[in-house]
Structure 1
Amino acid sequence: MPRETGPKPPRIDEIRLVDLVEREIGELAGGDRVEGRRYRGGGLGGRDLTGVAIGESELVGVFAHDALLRGAVITETVIERLEAPVLRAPRATLRDVLVSGSRIGSVEFYDNRWESVRFVGCKLGFVNLRGAEIRDIRFTDCTIEELDLGNAKAQRVAFEQCDVRSLDVTGARLSDVDLRGLDLAAISGIDGLRGATMDGMQVALLATTLANHVGIRVVD
């Protein structure tokens, strides 16, 4: 018999930043295209940064409550200790991005396009990725209150030592999505799990949900 194989892991490229130029975050405006910048501290609260493009840069300790990054393009960039109780970034593109040690509350990432993105040591509230296309994504040591992947397309996504209170995969299309490193409390849209990998304990904990889904009456 052929040997069973696990899901394909995310393909994550290392980010190498050199010769960065220090700038003030307040200089950023919607539609700007910047590269090779380092932003330390400062705030983007309430700012409209629609269409901004940031490449090969570093953002450290930035406060971005209620900032609007509609259609933003962020590539080859490291983001550390971002604070944003509310963040709006619909239809944004992230490629080769590392987000670490950040606290983000309610965030609109719907209709996003992500490739080679890592979240490490982050606390996230409601993460709306509905309709997004994400590929080669890794979450490590993260806590997420609600993760909405409704109607999203996800390929090669992995969770390591993560806690998600609620996961919605209604209408999702998953391929090589590894949930084994995820402490999952509740799930919606059970059909959307097709293409995911789970361990035996996770499946056992979902037994009641699975039984209800297929119409099985469980009586002790």
Structure 2
Amino acid sequence: MAGTARRAAGGTAMTGGPAGRAVVRAARRPEVRLPRLEEYDGRGLERDGDYDGLDFRDTGLAGQDGAGARFMDCALTGCALDGTSLRRARLLDSVLTGVRGVGTDLAEATLRDVEVRDARLGGTQLHGAVLERVLIRGGKIDFLNLRRARLKDVVFEGCVLVEPDFGGARLERVEFVDCAVRQADLSAAVLVDVDLRGAAPLELARGVDRLSGAVISPAQLLDLAPVLAAELGLRVLA
């Protein structure tokens, strides 16, 4: 199967700051160009399976065990992922469109050069995972568990994140563009060149003290003022 021809977009742009002074490095977005795909035969996922150049279309993968599997140059479209185990799986140069499910297990998985479009997911487990050059565009993800994950060159665009958990994670060159972030947990997280200016609303349940290394807008600063005051033990009286 011919390999995917691609190159990462961006990565060198600097945004913000007076007189062109850089304040945050832009994330490098994936550019996935899939080769001609073969239709998946539907025999069911296998642990440590190898899936190369396959088209999973409207496939019911709920409850299946694909732990440790490798997906290379694949398209997953309209697939049901309820309770699917993909722990320690590797998703490389692939596109997931309209996937849906509750309790999908991607703990300690690797996602590299991946696009996730219009997903409807709940309780997805990505703790300890590695995400590099990943675009999550559109859709809604509830209770996303990214504890102790490593995110580098990741873009959340036009999506809704409800109570995402970034506890203990490392985020480097991560952007939030035209998306809603509700009650996020940043406890013990490390942020480097994280651009939060496109998040509206931006709500933090915990970890406001970890915002060093992030960029927010003046309006967001005003919105976060009560949380920041509480963190500092500052009383604000009329």
TM-score range, shorter chain: over 0.9
Match of 1:55 in 2: 72
Structure-to-structure mapping, 1:49-88, within 5 angstroms: 49-88=66-105
The reply on whether 1:194 has 2:212 as its aligned counterpart is yes
What letter matches 2:121 in structure 1? I
CA distance in 1, matches of 2:157, 2:126: 19
Any residues of structure 2 matched to 1:1-40 within 5 Å, and which? 4-40=21-57
186, 193, 196: which one aligns with 1:169 = 186
Mark the runs of 5 or more structure 2 residues left unpaired by the alignment.
Answer: 1-17
Local SS of the residue matching 1:144: strand
User: Which amino acid letter does the alignment assign opposite residue 72 of structure 1?
Assistant: A
Q: Distance in 2 between matches of 1:66 and 1:133?
A: 23
Match of 1:97 in 2: 114
Secondary structure in structure 1 of the residue aligned to 2:34: coil
Which amino acid is 2:161 matched to? I
Deviation at residue 48 of structure 1 after TM alignment: 1.4
Please report the RMSD computed on the Cα atoms of aligned residues, expressed in angstroms: 1.4
Where does structure 1 differ by over 6 angstroms across 4 or more consecutive aligned residues? none
Distance 1:174 1:186 in 2: 14
Q: Given that residues 25 and 41 in structure 1 are in contact (C-alpha distance below 8 angstroms), is that contact kept between their aligned partners in structure 2?
A: no
Q: 1:47 Cα deviation (Å)?
A: 1.1
Task: Note the alpha carbon deviations across 1:187-211, whole angstroms, 9 max, x for none.
Answer: 3111111100000011111111111
Within 2, Cα distance between the matches of 1:160 and 1:45?
31
State the alpha-carbon separation in 1 of the partners of residues 191 and 166 from structure 2.
10
Is the 8 Å Cα contact of residues 131 and 152 (structure 2) preserved in structure 1? yes
Cα distance, 1:27 vs structure 2: 3.2
Alpha-carbon distance between aligned partners in 2 of 1:211 and 1:39, rounded to the nearest angstrom: 49
Consecutive unaligned residues in structure 1, runs of 5 or more:
none
Q: Which has the higher strand share?
A: 1
Opposite residue 198 of structure 1, the aligned amino acid is: I
* Distance (Å, rounded) in 2 between the aligned partners of 1:188 and 1:4: 31
What is the deviation of 1:185?
2.8
Determine if the alignment matches structure 1 residue 215 to structure 2 residue 208.
no
The 1-side partners of 2:41 and 2:144 are apart by: 28
Q: Write the deviation string for residues 78-119 of structure 1: whole angstroms up to 9, x where unpaired.
A: 011101122111100000000001100111100000100001
Residue 157 of structure 1 aligns with which residue?
174
**Matching residue of 1:132:** 149
| Structure 2: distance between partners of 1:6 and 1:24 | 49
Contact 1:75/1:96, CA 8 A, preserved across alignment: yes
2:45·2:64 contact (CA, 8 Å) conserved in 1? Answer: no
Aligned length: 220
Structure 2 residue corresponding to 1:122, chosen from 139, 151, 171: 139
SS at match of 1:45: coil
Q: Percent identity?
A: 34
Could you tell me whether the CA contact under 8 Å between 1:25 and 1:44 is conserved in 2? no
